[in-house]
Structure 1
Amino acid sequence: MMENMEQLSSFTLERQDSGIAQLKIDVVSETMNVLKAEFLDEISNVLNEIKSDSTIKGLVVYSGKSNSFVAGADITMLDKCETAEQAAEIASSGQMIFNQIEQLKIPVVAAINGPCLGGGLELAMACHMRVASDAGNTVLGLPEVQLGLLPGSGGTQRLPKLVGLQKSLDMMLTGKQLRPKQALKSGLVDDVVPRSILLEAATKLALSGKKKRKTKLPFIEKALQSNPWGRKLVFDQATKTVKGKTKGNYPAPLKIIDSIRAGFEKGTAKGLAVEAKHFGDLVQTNESAQLRNIFFATTEMKKESGVEGVNAEPVDRIGVLGGGLMGGGIAYVSSNNAKVPVRIKDINHTGISNALKYSFDLLNKKVKRRFMLKTQMQKQMNMVTGTLDYSGFSDVDMVIEAVFEDLSLKQSMVNDIEENCKQGVIFASNTSSLPINQIAANAKHPENVIGLHYFSPVDKMPLAEIIAHDKTSDQTIATTVAFAKRQGKTPIVVKDKAGFYVNRILAPYVNEAANILLSGEPIDKIDSCMVKFGFPVGPIKLLDEVGIDIGAKISPILEAELGERFKAPEAFNKLIADNRKGKKTNKGFYLYKGKGANGKAVDESVYQLLNIQANGRLSSEDIAQRTVLLMVNEAVRCLDEGIIRNPRDGDIGAIFGIGFPPFLGGPFRYLDSLGAQTVVDRLTGYQQQYGEHFAPCDALCKMAENNETCY
C-alpha cells in the first residue's frame, strides 16, 4: 500500500508501510532518463522532505522507465556554457546533490535496470548500496571520456573507493561498461537479481541497514593502492599509457588521472574541487566540442529513415552470397545484432566453414569471458546455415552479396537471385567501388538493387554506406537503412558514383602517402606521423591491413570513372608482381613472417624492390597536410556533386569509415577550423610543387571567395 504520493515533474516519492520510501525517476517527455540542470531544485526539495520525515527508515531509488535507470546527463546543457566557470558550476551542483544523498542518515539503495551510465552511475554510487537486474540491457559505466570530458559529479572520487584504483582508471580512461555480473565481481554493485524481484530485493537491502563496506581487491593491487609509492607507480604507468595512445590529442584522460590522484593525496573534498575545475576546462576545449558534435550527429541519424515519409518493409530472413571475411562478418552482425536467420551461399564448403568459424570465434570469446552461456551460443550458431546452391533462398527478404570485385559476376548474381528468390527481394551489393547502376544494368527489377557497403572488420566498423542508383525505389532505400541500423551500423545514404564517398576520399590520401614513400620518406615515419595526427593506423599500414591487391583493383576503376587525379603510382605494380598483398599473405610493407615478426617492423626489402633510398627529409607537418588536404578537397567535391547529402554525413562517414581523427570533427569541420582560404592557399602551393592532382576544386575556391563555412 502507498500513501501520501507527491508528484514532482520527474521525481515521485512513494512512502510505503514498511518504512522504506521509493523515489521514482521518470523524466517527462524523454524516452530514457537523463539528468538535467533544472532538476536541482526538485531533487533538493525531495531530499529535504526525506530528511524531515522521521517515518522514512530507508530509501530505494529506481527508474519509472522500463528501458533505463539513468542513461547519463543531458549534454545539450553544456553547449549553453560560455565559460569554463559556468561548466564547473554544473559539476559542483551535481556533486552537492549527490553528497546530500550520500550523507542521508537512512540507508539508500539504487535499484538498477537498464543502462546506468555517466551521471546515472554517479547517482547510483552516491547511494549506500546498489542492486542490479540481470537484464541483457543492464550496463554500468562512466563513458564521459568518449565526449572529451570526465565524470564531473563525484565519479572520479567514488568509483576508486568501490572498485579500486586500477579498475576505476581502466573504466574511466576507456569508457568501458560493465555487465551486471562483472559489476558484482568488481564490487560496483552488492547484488544481481532477476528484474521481476528488483524492487523487492532493493527494499530488503534497505531494511537490513547501512553496511560498512570493504573494497575487494587482490593482494598486490591492495598493496599498491594502500601506499603513496604504489599509487605513484600506478598513476605514472597510467599516464605513460595514455600519452602513448592519445599522442597528446585528447586532454580528458590526463585530467581524469589528475582528479583521482588529488582525491587520494589531498582528500575527497579537494578531489571534488579538482574534478569540477577540470570538468569546466574540458567542456570549453575544441576536442570535447567536436566529440559532442559527433554524438549529436549520430543521435540525429538514428532518427532518420533514409527517405522521409517512407516506412521500411520487415526483413525477417536474409541470404549472404560469399563466405569470405566480409560475408562471414555480415552473417555475424545479421544473426547476432539484427537477430535474423542467415543463409550463406558459397561455391565450396571451405567458404561456408570460414563464414561459420567467423561467428563461432566471436561468440566463443563471449562464452570464455562469461558474457554468454554455451547454450545461448549454440542457439545463436543455429541461426546461420550454409548451402552450395540456392536452396533455402526462396523466402529471404534481402540478399547481401559479398563476392570479389568483378562486374560480370555481380550482374549474373542479380539474375540468379531474381530467378531463385521471391518477388520483391532486395539485392544489396557490398561492392567497394563498382557503380550500382552497372551491377543493376541487366536486372528485371532494378528498383530492388542497392549498394550496402560495409567496412572491414564488419563486426567492429560502425559505418555502412547505402548506395541508391537512379532506379532504386524509396522503399528499398528505407528498408536497407532500417536493416543496417538493426545490424548495429550507422548508415549514410550516398549517391551512386565510383568509389561512393569513403573510398573516394580515401584513395587520394593513400596515393599521396605512396608518392611520399617513393620520394624517399621511410615507411614507419609516414605511418607514425599520421598516427600522431590522429588516425588509428598510418596509410601504408592500412594498405597492408586491407590488402595491397584490393587497392590495385580499386584504383583503375576510380581513375576510369573520375579522372587522372586517382592514378595510383606505377611502382606499386612491382608489389603485386612480388606477391606482396599485405597481412593476408604475410608479405607486405611490414614483416609478418619469422621470429618476432608481428607487423610492427618494416620489411626493409621493400625499399630495394621499389628502388627507394629512404632518407626522410620532409617535416611531419608536410606529410600530414599533403595527405589530409587531398582528402578534404575530395570530400568537398563529393558534397558539391551530391554524393553525400550534407557535411554532417561526410564527417560521420570519414570518422566511422576510415578513422578520420574524431577530435578534429571530420573533414568538413576540420576545413571550417582551418578556413577555406587557408586550405586553397596550401593546396595551390602543393599544386605548384607536386602536380595538378593538388588543384583545389571549384566548390572549395568558391567557398574561399565568399568566406563560407560548411556548418
Structure 2
Amino acid sequence: MEHTSAFTLTKQDNGIALVAIDVPGETMNVLKDTFGPQINALLDEIEHDNDITGVVIYSGKDNSFVAGADVSMLEACTSAQQGAEIGKGGQDIFNRIENLAKPVIAAIHGPALGGGLELALACHGRVCSDDAKTQVGLPEVQLGLLPGSGGTQRLPRLISVQKALTMMLTGAAQRPKQALKAGIVDAVVPRAILLQEAQNMALAGKPKIRPTKLNLVAKLLENTALGRKVLFSQARKQTLRKTQGNYPAPLAIIECIETGLAKGMTAGLALEAKRFGELMMTDESKALRSLFFATTEMKKEQGVADVPAKPVQKAAVLGGGLMGGGIAFVTATKAKLPVRIKDITDQGIANALNTAFGLLNRRVKKRILRHSQMQQQLSLITGTTDYSGFKDVDVVIEAVFENLELKQQMVADIENHCSLETIFASNTSSIPISQIAAKAARPENVIGLHYFSPVDKMPLAEVIAHAGTSDQTISTTVALAKKQGKTPIVVKDGAGFYVNRILAPYMSEAANLVLAGEPIDKIDKVMVKFGFPVGPLKLMDEVGIDVGTKIIPFLVAEFGERFTAPDAFQVVIDDDRKGKKNSKGFYDYSAQAKGKTVDESIYTLLGLTPNPTLTDTHMIQRCVYLMLNEAARCLDEGVIRSARDGDIGTIFGIGFPPFLGGPFRYMDKIGIATLVEELQELAKNHGDKYLPAEILVNMSEENKTFY
C-alpha cells in the first residue's frame, strides 16, 4: 500500500500478517472517518490471501496504540444524522474485523482510548505491554458523547456489566494490571516481547472468551432479567444524583447498554449510533469539546510567545503547610524534579513529607505504583530549617502565611541565599505581586504562581506577572507549572488576580441570601443543581471562612464598594467559626452530622429565622450574574488574555459547570443583550453592584459575542 496510508501490512513467514497503524502528520494515532476505504482494502487483502492465517494489529508510533477518534472531524458535522453516520461507519468496520474467520489480535502499547479501545475490542484477543504509558479506556463521556463504534455493546459483553458501566460513565482509564484483572486484555507482557506474544496468540487460533468471575450478588444482578432491571435502575439514580440531570450522555450510555443486552447486538448498535449523533449536536457536548480544544491549544503555547523557558533543574518550597506540602508533592512526582522544603520547624518539614507519603502510599495500595517507585519519588523531597541546599535552586515557590512583610522578607532571603537568576514565585491568593516585589533587588525574577487547594487534585495554576516581571520569568514559570501537571493561565497582577476576584462577589451574595432568610442548605443545593461541585457556603467551610474572607479588604481597596462583603462574615469569624478545619462553620461537623446538615445555631448567631421565599432562578441570577459581570470586566481590563483563558480558569479553578463551557460561553448562550437587561433589572432591585460592565453594554449595542 502507498506510504500515505495510515496502515501498513507486512506478511511474516509464519503466516501472521502484521498491520501497523501510523497516522501521517499526527503525533499520536487517531482514527479519522476517511480511513474507511483504506481499512476495507486491507481487510479484503487479508480475507482473500490464503497464506495469511492470522493478524496482529499494533502501532507504528512509540507513544500510543490509538489515542481515540480525531475530535476535530466531529466539528465538521452539521446534523445528528451525519454524526450517526460517523458512528455507523466505525461500527461497520469493527463488525467486519470481528467477523473475520482468521484470528485478529491487538498488541497494545501506550494509550488505547475511545475508538482505540473499540478497535481492540473488535479483535479476537488483546495483549498489552506492562509499560506506564499503557492504558485502556472509553473517555467519550468527558466530551459529552458515548462510545459510538460498538463500545457500549462489546465492553459489557466482555467484562462485568457493572465494571463496564463504571468505565463508560466516568471515562476512567485502566492500567495494564487493572485491565487484565477486569478481563479487558488476555495478557500483560514486557514491551520487548509484546509483538511476539501477540503472534503466538494469533498462531494458536481465536482465544476462548474467559467467563467473567462474578460473586453471587453480581451474578444475580447481571445474569437475570430482574437483576438487570435493578442494576440499571440504580445506575440511573446514582447518575442523576451525580450529574443533577445536567449531562445527557451518561443516561444515553446506560440506555444503549441496557438495550443491547435485552434486545441483542444489532438493536444495541443501531441505538448507539443514533444517540451518538444526537449527543454530538447538544450544547453540552459542544461546550465540553471546546474545553478539549482549548486545553490542547494551551499545551502548545509558551508563557510569552517566542520567549523560551529556562531549564529548571531544582526547585524549592518555602513553608511546609498544606499548600507547601502539596506543591512539593507535584514538583517531585509530576515534574520529577528534586525539591527542597524550608520551614521554621522540623515539624513543618515532617508534615510536608507526610503529605507526600500519604498521597503516594494510597497509590501503592491501589497498585498504581510500586513501593520502589514510591521510595524513588520521596527521595526527591528533602527538608531544611535554614537555607542550606538553596544555592543551586532555579525556582523558589513561596507558600507562607498571607502577610506582606513576611513575604517581602522571604524575597530578601532568597536574593541573599540563591543565584542572581533564581525565580521567586509566590503562591499568594490575595496580595498583589507588585507589593511583594516592592523591595526586591531583582523584581524581574518575582512572579505569582497561585495554586488551588488541594494542590494534587486541582488542575489550574494562575501565573501572575507584575509590571516588572521579565518575559523569561513568565515563560519559565508557565513551563514549570505544566511539568507539575497544571494548566496555567497567565494573569495580570491585581487584587484577587482572576479566579478569586470573580469568586468573591458570588460568595458574598450567597451570604446576602442567607441574611434575606434563605436556608443555607437550600442555597447550596440550588447551586449544585446549577452545576457547581459544591455550594458556596459549603465551599466557605471547606476553604476556611477566615481564609475565604481574607481577600475582601484587598478587593475593596482596589475596586471599591461593589466588593463590600456582608457584616455576617465578621460575626461568624468572631464566633471562632473557621469551617471544617475547626469543626465549626455553616455546617454541623459533629460525629453524627459529619458536615451533612446545617449547624442550626448559626441562625441564632445571625439573629435569623430561615424563611425561603425566592425562586431557584432568582438565586442563581443573584449569585452567578455577579461572577459573569466581573469576568467580563477582567477581560476588558486585560487581567486575562482571552475569553478562552477565562473559561478554562473558572472551570479548572472553581468548578464552574463544564457543560456550560465557562462564564464567557455561558454569557454567549444567555445572549449579551438579555444579560445586560437582566443585570439592569437586578441593579434596580439590589444595588449598583449589578450594573452591567461597560464591555457588556458595548457588545450588546454592537451585537457582538465573546466567541
Scaled to the shorter chain, the TM-score interval is over 0.9
**Matched residue SS, 1:14:** strand
Counterpart residue identity of residue 186, structure 1: A
**Matched residue SS, 1:178:** coil
- Aligned residues: CA RMSD: 0.9
Partner of 2:582: 585
Counterpart residue identity of residue 381, structure 2: V
CA distance in 2, matches of 1:321, 1:610: 39
Partner of 2:5: 9
Greater alpha carbon shift after TM alignment, 201-210 vs 143-152: 201-210
Partner of 2:286: 289
Partner of 1:688: 684
Of the three residues 416, 421, 425, the one matched with 1:424 is: 421
User: What displacement does 1:7 show?
Assistant: 4.0
Of the three residues 507, 512, 515, the one matched with 1:515 is: 512
Once the two structures are superposed, what CA deviation does each residue of 1:3-24 show, in whole Å capped at 9, x if it has no partner? xx76451100010101000000
Partner of 1:619: 615
CA distance in 1, matches of 2:605, 2:342: 40
Contact 2:430-2:496 within 8 A present in 1 as well: yes
Counterpart residue identity of residue 274, structure 2: K
**Matched residue SS, 2:550:** helix
Of the three residues 332, 344, 349, the one matched with 1:347 is: 344
User: What displacement does 1:551 show?
Assistant: 2.0
CA distance in 2, matches of 1:109, 1:128: 6
Contact 1:450-1:469 within 8 A present in 2 as well: yes
1:245 aligns with 2:245: no
Contact 1:164-1:215 within 8 A present in 2 as well: no
The residue correspondences of 1:562-581 to structure 2 (distance < 5 A) are 562-581=559-578
User: What displacement does 1:612 show?
Assistant: 1.4
User: What displacement does 1:368 show?
Assistant: 0.6
CA distance in 2, matches of 1:471, 1:212: 67
Partner of 1:73: 69
Counterpart residue identity of residue 652, structure 1: I
**Matched residue SS, 1:308:** coil
**Matched residue SS, 1:644:** coil
**Matched residue SS, 1:13:** strand
1:317 aligns with 2:314: yes
Partner of 1:532: 529
CA distance in 2, matches of 1:575, 1:89: 58
1:107 aligns with 2:107: no
The residue correspondences of 1:632-651 to structure 2 (distance < 5 A) are 632-651=628-647
User: What displacement does 1:698 show?
Assistant: 1.1
User: What displacement does 1:641 show?
Assistant: 0.3
Partner of 1:400: 397
Counterpart residue identity of residue 455, structure 1: F
Partner of 1:264: 261
Greater alpha carbon shift after TM alignment, 480-489 vs 348-357: 348-357
Partner of 2:373: 376
User: What displacement does 1:217 show?
Assistant: 2.2
Counterpart residue identity of residue 468, structure 1: A
**Matched residue SS, 1:404:** coil
Partner of 1:232: 229
User: What displacement does 1:211 show?
Assistant: 2.3
Partner of 1:45: 41
The residue correspondences of 1:135-534 to structure 2 (distance < 5 A) are 135-220=131-216, 221-534=218-531
User: What displacement does 1:212 show?
Assistant: 2.2
Partner of 1:604: 600
User: What displacement does 1:575 show?
Assistant: 1.0
User: What displacement does 1:574 show?
Assistant: 1.1
Contact 2:236-2:254 within 8 A present in 1 as well: yes
The residue correspondences of 1:80-95 to structure 2 (distance < 5 A) are 80-95=76-91
Once the two structures are superposed, what CA deviation does each residue of 1:364-392 show, in whole Å capped at 9, x if it has no partner? 00111111111211121111111111111
Of the three residues 52, 55, 60, the one matched with 2:56 is: 60
CA distance in 2, matches of 1:293, 1:7: 33
Contact 1:161-1:215 within 8 A present in 2 as well: no
CA distance in 2, matches of 1:159, 1:18: 31
TM-score (norm 2): 0.99
Once the two structures are superposed, what CA deviation does each residue of 1:312-348 show, in whole Å capped at 9, x if it has no partner? 1111110100111110110010000000011001111
User: What displacement does 1:93 show?
Assistant: 0.4
Counterpart residue identity of residue 587, structure 1: K
CA distance in 1, matches of 2:219, 2:302: 51
- May I ask how many residue pairs the two structures share in their alignment? 706
CA distance in 2, matches of 1:440, 1:7: 57
CA distance in 2, matches of 1:534, 1:547: 22
CA distance in 1, matches of 2:553, 2:226: 60
Q: How many percent of aligned residue pairs carry the same amino acid? A: 63
Partner of 2:695: 699
TM-score (norm 1): 0.99
CA distance in 2, matches of 1:124, 1:319: 44
CA distance in 2, matches of 1:218, 1:92: 32
Contact 1:6-1:14 within 8 A present in 2 as well: no
CA distance in 2, matches of 1:336, 1:212: 40
Counterpart residue identity of residue 372, structure 1: L
Contact 2:4-2:24 within 8 A present in 1 as well: no
Gaps of 5+ in 2: none
1:133 aligns with 2:133: no
CA distance in 2, matches of 1:212, 1:487: 44
CA distance in 1, matches of 2:397, 2:24: 41
**Matched residue SS, 2:622:** helix
CA distance in 1, matches of 2:393, 2:271: 58
CA distance in 2, matches of 1:672, 1:635: 13
Partner of 2:113: 117
Counterpart residue identity of residue 255, structure 2: D
CA distance in 1, matches of 2:109, 2:592: 47
